Amino acid sequence: MKIAFVFPNSGSGLAFHPGIQILSAIAKQHGHETKLFHIHDKMIPWDNKRIVEKLVSYKPDMIAFTSTEFEFDKIKELAFAIQQEWNLVDAYLLLGGKAAISHKDDQLLELPFNAYSVREGEKSFPELLDDIKRTDIKGMWFAVDHVIIRNPLGEIVTDLDSIPFMDFDLFDTPKILDERGGWLSVQFTRGCPFACTYCYVTTDRKLQFEGEEGYGVKNYLRKYSVEYAMQFLEQLCEKYGNHIKFINMDDELPTMHKKWFIDFCNAYKIR
């Protein structure tokens, strides 16, 4: 299967997207082909006709969008353009990101998407790729016959080391690093022990992990092993070392795992 990832990154500096990079790595692990459509003035400018022409040329089986609420109106317009104006109706349209879970059923039914990835997708996404006709995949909602099928969350990945390394080859990594002054951001932990009312992380925890239908608070705080982190960084430095000047830990609070953080620092110094 050919999968086109659409990343709206306009209005800000060039960036990577860890979620897309993880899902692309998983898709490749399962034998699928992926390509990124990076919407940015320095990549693909936001022009629906031009974007759709590029998608038509690629001929994907699935177009996977990510979107926050800020970008959703433009992503919606692009999806409608794909579905209606340029006759890409055979492509399966998947929406992920914050925008996928913030609308009521009647609003979702007015949208052109076939499915919505409403939580972490490391388990649900490959299930969908294995059988795109399924509508019972946990962690996803589906628009079928004027009804939204809201499946429960299902399982979550607790062993982060089981996830393949993020796919930096999907992006134009050298160009992005150069534009960012050599800053490479990485993340080796998930979650935060605090509950600041102004922070989106607190909302995510309540939506995904708390309550009867949540993943469970005990599964919230997770981390990759130090060895996984070291091997990943070594791979990145081997591939893109000429473009990397700084490595930034983009975790919410890596020091919450005190022993892990000390071991990480010691290993980083040695390696």
Which phi and psi angles does 4 have, rounded to 5°? -105, 120
Cα dist from 49 to 1, 79, 251, whole Å = 24, 11, 37
The b/e string for 31-60 (b: 16+ C-beta within 10 A; e otherwise) is ebebebbbbbeebbebebeebbeebeeeeb
Residue 252: exposure state from Cβ atoms within 10 A (0-12, 13-18, ≥19):
middle
Cα dist from 177 to 171, 195, 262, whole Å = 10, 33, 28
What local confidence, expressed as pLDDT, does residue 87 receive? 61
Q: Which residue has the tokens 């353009």?
A: 81
What local confidence, expressed as pLDDT, does residue 170 receive? 98
- Taking the C-alpha atoms of residue 144 and residue 132, their distance in angstroms, rounded to an integer, is 13
- Give the predicted TM-score (pTM) of the model: 0.93
The DSSP letter of residue 37 is: E
pLDDT in tens for each of the 271 residues of the chain?
A: 999 999 999 888 999 999 999 999 999 999 999 999 999 999 999 999 999 999 989 999 999 999 988 889 999 999 999 887 666 557 899 999 878 776 666 788 888 999 999 889 999 999 999 999 999 999 999 999 889 999 988 888 999 999 999 999 999 999 999 999 999 999 999 999 999 999 988 988 887 888 777 788 888 999 999 999 999 999 999 999 999 999 999 999 999 999 999 999 999 999 8
Contact present, 83 and 143 (Cβ < 8 Å): no
Residue 213: exposure state from Cβ atoms within 10 A (0-12, 13-18, ≥19):
exposed
Which phi and psi angles does 91 have, rounded to 5°? -80, 135
Strand order in the sheet with 140-144: 33-39, 2-8, 62-66, 92-96, 115-117, 140-144, 147-150
Q: Which residue has the tokens 């002054």?
A: 181
- Taking the C-alpha atoms of residue 92 and residue 112, their distance in angstroms, rounded to an integer, is 10
What local confidence, expressed as pLDDT, does residue 100 receive? 78
- Taking the C-alpha atoms of residue 159 and residue 175, their distance in angstroms, rounded to an integer, is 32
Contact present, 221 and 133 (Cβ < 8 Å): no
